[in-house]
Amino acid sequence: MSNSTLKQKFDYTLDEQAALLSQFGHVMEAVNERQRPAARVSLALQAAISDDDIVVVPKVTTTPTGKVFHVTGNAQSAKEAIDALNCPVKWGLAETPEKIPLIIQPVDCRARFIPLGRVRTTEEIYNFPKILPPTEFFALGAKFPKEQCEAPILDVWLDAVGRFWYAILTVNGVQRDVDVRQAHPVGQWRGHYRVPVRE
């Protein structure tokens, strides 16, 4: 068995099975209404019916190059994506997320952080291979909120008309915050920022 998976037996009481089957019913309604792909139906809920052993993908895997995070999310709007971060402090368009230019889509990816290491421009960062799009960036922040306490997390992207935007997850005093604004291509970012990219 590889280190990236964990074999786990699911044993449920009758009450737990009833609750899980109810959740399964809601998930299947979403599948039938084409709001969620069938492939993303929870393995744990399937196991509640079959009582089989299943393979669980851990949320965080340690590799020689650092931690790799399994990121999932299904926000239906920019507001949902921002609200899921649960950041007490919001700046820029994070206060009016309906104005944030991003494409809403389900998220299921693996990501890791790359420290900038030195001062870099917005355009340089945008050209990082496999940099996360904003929906995946916000889902990462929502799933792993403690990561922004380690060092600021930065994402940049282009909107439909070619303007640069940035989002930052950091800590303001003792509170986590999110900042979303338009960016200048030659705007500079210090080396202690980290950029999430797809693994």
pLDDT digits (tens, 9 = 90+) for 28-44: 666 666 655 555 555 54
Look up residue 120 and give its two tokens.
Answer: 């870099």
pTM of the model: 0.71
pLDDT at site 174 = 84
37 to 27, 33, 41, 105: CA distances (angstroms): 10, 10, 7, 11
174 close to 109: Cβ distance less than 8 angstroms: no
112 contacts 69 by C-beta, under 8 angstroms = yes
Least trusted range by pLDDT, from 17-31, 54-68, 152-166: 17-31
Token couple for 81: 């994506």
Give the pLDDT of residue 34: 60
The backbone torsions φ and ψ at residue 124, rounded to the nearest 5 degrees and listed phi first, read: -60, -45
pLDDT of residue 60: 85
Cβ-Cβ contacts under 8 Å for 67 (sequence gap 6 or more):
60, 61, 112, 113
**Burial (0-12, 13-18, 19+ Cβ within 10 Å), 30:** middle
